[in-house]
Amino acid sequence: MDNSEVFWDKNFNQDQVKKILNDETNPKFVEIAALFLSRNNKPSIVFSKYLDKVLFCNNWRKIKKQMRKNKWSDSRIVFWDEVYKVTLQGIDKEVLRPSKKRDIDIDPEIKIIGDEIRKARKNKGWTQIELAKMAKLSQQTISFVEKGYTNISVKTLKRIADAVGLRIKIEHIEKSTSSSQTFSM
């Protein structure tokens, strides 16, 4: 694979790319790795000539986030995510940076919405990937919403609801002794 095939629109030579991809402290590391992986589907070449497997595994979350941010092909992200899982199995865990534990705060009301979305999706016989395509979102977003991990925007909720045929309804209930509002799907 010629470097010009991958970075046809950038002014990088092969040595510059290799230098950046071998230094995770380089400010351009994540950007170049994300661009490189979004345009390449040959792990054997990537790992033999450009990117160390340990650096790839230690930085995969950041690289994947950059790929999503740049709205690159979800199928390419899914491909490299599978490569990451396989590669991770073959690496001595002692050489990997420990991953940070994420504190996940699940709001019970958001979880109820996620459960309704999951139920509607399954009633249609769709996978999360199929719903993601219909709503023009990532599969990870659908997964997080269904689990109640994320507080999504109304715009994202509407895209998901429209895709699965749900209606968003907000009701105002007069205050009594306790304050309550209802959100139903």
Range of the domain at 174: 108-184
By CB neighbour count within 10 A (0-12 exposed, 13-18 middle, 19+ buried), where does 69 fall?
exposed
Rg (CA), the chain: 21
Please spell the DSSP secondary structure of the chain, one letter per residue: --HHHHSTTS---HHHHHHHHT-TTSTTHHHHHHHHHHT---HHHIIIII--HHHHHHHHHHHHHHHHHTT--HHHHHHHHHHHHHHHHTS-GGGSPPPPPPP----HHHHHHHHHHHHHHHHTT--HHHHHHHHTS-HHHHHHHHHT-----HHHHHHHHHHHT---EEEE---SSS--EEEE-
53, 119: one domain:
no
pLDDT of residue 93: 81
- My answer on whether 114 and 63 are in the same domain is no
Q: Is residue 100 part of a domain?
A: no
Number of folded domains in the chain?
2
Predicted pLDDT of residue 184? 60
* Burial class for 8, CB neighbours closer than 10 Å (0-12, 13-18, 19+): exposed
* pLDDT number for residue 10: 66
112 and 64 together in one domain: no
Residue 103 lies in a domain: no
Sign for the pseudo-dihedral over CA of 140, 143, 146, 147: negative
* pLDDT value of position 76: 82
Q: Which two tokens stand for residue 57?
A: 């595994």
Any domain includes 102:
no
Same structural domain, 17 and 89: yes
Q: Give residue 161's pLDDT.
A: 94
For residues 112 and 91, state if they share a domain.
no
Torsion of CA 98, 100, 101, 104, to 10 degrees: -160
Same domain, yes or no: 78 and 135: no
Per-residue buried b or exposed e for 44-58, using 16+ beta carbons within 10 Å of the residue's own CB: eebeeebbebebbbb
Note down pLDDT in tens along the chain; length 185 residues.
Answer: 554 555 555 677 778 888 899 999 999 999 989 888 888 888 998 898 889 999 999 999 899 888 888 766 677 888 898 899 899 888 888 878 776 666 667 888 888 999 999 999 999 999 999 999 999 888 888 988 998 887 788 899 999 999 999 998 888 888 765 555 555 66
Does 39 lie in the same domain as 9? Answer: yes
